[in-house]
Amino acid sequence: MKVGLLGFGVVGRGFYDIVATRNDISVAKVVCLEDITLPDAEVTRDFQSVLADDSIDTVVEAMGGLHPAYEFVRAAIEAGKNVVTSNKALVCTFYDELIPLANEKGVKFRCTAAVGGGICWLSELERARRVQKILRVGGIMNGTCNYILDSMTRLGLGYDEALKQAQALGYAEANPTTDVEGIDTWHKVILSGNIAFGVSLDPSQVPVTGISRISAEDVENFKTHGKVCKLVSTGTQENGTYSAYVQPTLFDSNAPEATIPTNYNLITLIGEHSGRQSLYGQGAGRYPTAYNVVQDCVDLLCGKSFYAPYGEKVCVDNSGTMCYYIRGGHFPTEKIAEHWGNAIITTPISVASAHAWLKENPDAFIAALDAGC
Ligand code: HSE
């Protein structure tokens, strides 16, 4: 396999290092803005030279961001080149365009590193869905948020201090909004649901709220009640109805999710035959992420392409109910079941209505109670 590698940052460099040890994959060209020289690959700023090089059969996109990653990936598919990418925002945003286009052009497309970094999550979904209906996907999909919440819970740090540490360790992006507001997790659960259920979930119908408004006082409140807060994604299918959302969630302190340390991920599927299966590992970082990009290239060499047939867009129904912890905002008193200090626990309300309420009360912090009331 001859690769045109787009991007030479964290993941691109990791990919280059790993394939340097193999003889079945070689990097012919690297497209990047850095002034670097490499012993065995041409470095260029000109993506068109990758397209024009007929010896390059596969484009590995490790640039991140939507543009020009989208234009480059689309052009690569149209030119008949296989694509491997770690870019969840790209695949999630342009799912309805890129997956059918790859099918139409007969090119192979994989993106395992886009969800769970070094965890073999999407490739396991591909296997799981071959022999059973997948009923539920989701879990802890963002290392930065887990690091912040874990530091607040175990070490008693404040939010700002925990975030600074996550940035210093290179987990959080320089602009951490994508991580802490749950957008990264949102991309990941939509992509996971699309593959698990063989549909295209409408992103505009998938609500998301993150952890940026959590306080040390909330964490103390959770501890008093034997709970631990995690940012969790959920996607379900039942009788042709699909739900999907991202929200902070409170787990009993002995639940598997509650024990996940530092920047690790715990991603779970529930299948009709397998029951619950959870994958635990490094959801980010140079070599874990690059590992799955290399795995995708090896899978292409073995003849694999996308994980699931493309499915049409479906509506998302978040009318299922659960109880919520809410601090701040104005909540109707008749729906308050309990008081926890200066916060309240609601009676069961729908996920859709909880997120709609939050839009009207943007300074409030909400977290779902995993075990219900
Ligand atoms: N910023 C992401 C995380 C990296 O913290 O998990 C992988 O998507």
Give 239: exposed, middle or buried? Use CB within 10 Å, 0-12, 13-18, 19+.
exposed
Report the C-alpha gap between 343 and 339 in whole angstroms: 6
- Exposure string (b/e) for 190-205, b if CB count within 10 Å is 16 or more? bbbbbbbbbbbbebeb
Active-site residue, 313 included: no
Per-residue model confidence (pLDDT) at position 372: 39
Chain CA centroid to CA 219, Å: 24
Ligand 1 and 114: CB distance under 6 A: no
Backbone φ, ψ for residue 254 (5° rounding) = -100, 5
Per-residue model confidence (pLDDT) at position 102: 98
- Residue 290's nearest CA partner among 166, 113, 89 is 113
Mutate to test the pocket of ligand 1, among 144, 145, 148, 192 (most ligand atoms within 8 A of CB): 144
- Residue 315's nearest CA partner among 244, 233, 209 is 244
Report the C-alpha gap between 186 and 88 in whole angstroms: 10
Distance 141 CA to ligand 1 centre (A): 8
Ligand 1 and 178: CB distance under 6 A: no
- Residue 6's nearest CA partner among 98, 55, 54, 75 is 75
Percent of the chain predicted with pLDDT > 70: 99
How far CA 68 is from CA of 54, 298, 346, in Å, comes to: 22, 26, 45
Is the confidence at residue 111, as pLDDT, over 70? yes
Is the confidence at residue 293, as pLDDT, over 80? yes
Per-residue model confidence (pLDDT) at position 172: 77
Q: Which atom of ligand 1 is nearest to the CA of 283?
A: 6
Q: Which amino acid is at 153?
A: T
Per-residue model confidence (pLDDT) at position 171: 83
Is the confidence at residue 222, as pLDDT, over 60? yes
Q: What angle do CA 348, 150, 287 make, to 5 degrees?
A: 120
- 61-99 pLDDT, tens digit each: 999 999 999 999 999 999 999 999 999 999 999 999 999
Report the C-alpha gap between 295 and 120 in whole angstroms: 9
- 262-289 pLDDT, tens digit each: 999 999 999 999 999 999 999 989 999 9
**Averaged pLDDT for residues 153-168:** 96
**Averaged pLDDT for residues 2-11:** 97
For residue 364 the two structure tokens come to 């409030």
278 forms bridges with which residues in the sheet? Answer: 268
Ligand 1 and 171: CB distance under 6 A: yes
Distance 104 CA to ligand 1 centre (A): 31
- 8-50 pLDDT, tens digit each: 999 999 999 999 999 999 999 999 999 999 999 999 999 999 9
Residue carrying the six token digits 């690959």: 41
Per-residue model confidence (pLDDT) at position 289: 95
**Averaged pLDDT for residues 167-184:** 89
- Exposure string (b/e) for 114-131, b if CB count within 10 Å is 16 or more? bbbbbbbbbbbbbebbee
- 224-260 pLDDT, tens digit each: 999 999 999 999 999 999 999 999 999 999 999 999 9
Distance 103 CA to ligand 1 centre (A): 28
Mutate to test the pocket of ligand 1, among 146, 147, 184 (most ligand atoms within 8 A of CB): 184
- What pTM was computed for the model? 0.97
Ligand 1 and 283: CB distance under 6 A: yes
Per-residue model confidence (pLDDT) at position 371: 58
The dihedral built from the CA positions of residue 156, 161, 163 and 169, taken in this order, carries a sign that is negative
Confidence at 59, pLDDT banded by 50, 70, 90: very high
Secondary structure letter of residue 114 according to DSSP: G
Backbone φ, ψ for residue 262 (5° rounding) = 40, -125
**Averaged pLDDT for residues 288-297:** 97
Per-residue model confidence (pLDDT) at position 207: 98
The number of CA neighbours under 13 Å toward the Cβ of 241 is 6
Ligand 1: residue whose CA is nearest its atom 8? 284
Is the confidence at residue 373, as pLDDT, over 50? no
